[in-house]
Amino acid sequence: MATTTVDVVGSTPISFTNSQGAQRVVPVSAFQFSGSDLQLRSAWASLFDATETQTLLAVAKAKAAAGELTRPPVQPPRPANLFTATHPGLESNNIVVSATPDAGPPLSATIAFSAKEIDTYPGLASATAAALAIGVDIPTGKPGDPANGTGLVVVKSGSLGSSVKPPVASSAVLKTGIGVDIKDVDNAVLFTLLPRGDYAGTGGLSYAVSIDGSGTTFTVSATYDSTKETGAQPKVTILTLGSLAGQVAYLVKATAPPGGAAFPAKGSIQLSGGSEKVAATGLLYTS
């Protein structure tokens, strides 16, 4: 792989005395850094003989060692795109947004965004514990009762069974508006798990129930992955951030940060700062 060359920055030109005693002055623009090596640009190399080139480079490298010749300052990455979860809640901190930008002019080059959320509720000892941890679709509002669910899935109100046995491990893709009965080894329903009420997709939302190592508690997890949803997922530009593909917009909305939108580098960001009444946010940065 070829080494990238960069310009040289300095406040004064380089001067040296050649073998004939003549003073030669060379502008800083005649030099370049190739990796850590200070070189004379090819367009200038033909103007000097081997001895002059050796002397000139020795003077220039001495100035570089003294800090008088440097590389241009590198601009730090700046905020490019701001993402906000579509729902408040602690689970919104589990969202990861990824960007895959295409080549092209920053204002018109397209960007493929994707979003993924994994919610995990471990150490559940009963159906009631699951409802309290996950939340329900229609809360009673009474103190001590399960609150409104803010994650990808909720427990259906009124579905809690009386069994105290752990559930059978299971997993499946969830369908819009259709619940899954979580059952124990005797086929008794412990509770019914539902997709969040606004889910209208196909293929991207799944759940899993697993038994913890203790054998007496269990874990419920739910995963949404926009890349597994069916249907076209159009790319956007930094001028059309408000038109994210619906599969991505299910989890997040994209806006310009306070300093204005910019073209993002390829990468991912996990949202943070979410709480019961606050939606998590995250920033993608320029390269």
* Nearby residues of 88 by Cβ (< 8 Å), 6 or more positions away: 150, 274, 275, 276, 277, 278, 279
Residue 66 pLDDT > 70: yes
Model confidence at 1: pLDDT above 70: no
What number is the average pLDDT over the span 230-239? 97
Cβ proximity of 114 and 101 under 8 Å? no
Cα distance between residue 130 and residue 238, in whole Å:
41
Residue 158 has pLDDT above 70, yes or no: yes
What's the pLDDT at 2? 57
Q: Which residues pair with 79 in a beta bridge?
A: 285
Task: Give the pLDDT confidence score for residue 35 in this predicted structure.
Answer: 87
Rounded-to-integer distance, Cα 159 and Cα 146, Å: 12
What integer is the mean pLDDT of 268-286?
97
Confidence of residue 20 (pLDDT cuts 50, 70, 90): confident
Pairing of strands 79-85, 281-285: antiparallel
Residue 117 has pLDDT above 80, yes or no: yes
Q: According to the model, what pLDDT value does residue 135 have?
A: 98
> In angstroms, what CA-CA distances link 228 with 3, 206, 234?
39, 10, 14
* d(C-alpha 164, C-alpha 127), whole Å: 8
Taking the C-alpha atoms of residue 192 and residue 157, their distance in angstroms, rounded to an integer, is 8
The two beta strands, 281-285 and 14-17, are unpaired
- Residue in the block written with tokens 């700046």: 78
Give me the mean pLDDT over the 221-246 stretch. Answer: 97
The answer, yes or no, to whether residue 176 has pLDDT greater than 70, is yes
Contact 129, 135 (CB under 8 A): no
Angle (CA) 117-224-102 rounded to 5° is 80
Tokens of 194: 């539902």
Share of the chain above pLDDT 70, in %: 99
**pLDDT greater than 60 at residue 140:** yes
Q: What CA–CA distance (Å, rounded) separates 251 from 225? A: 10
On the question of pLDDT at 73 being above 90, the answer is: no
Mean pLDDT of 230-257: 97
Predicted confidence at residue 74, as pLDDT, reads 82
Q: Whole-prediction pTM value? A: 0.80
pLDDT score of 223 more than 70: yes
Average pLDDT, the chain: 95
pLDDT for 79-108, tens place per residue?
999 999 999 999 999 999 999 999 999 999
Give residue 75's pLDDT band: very low, low, confident or very high (50, 70, 90): confident
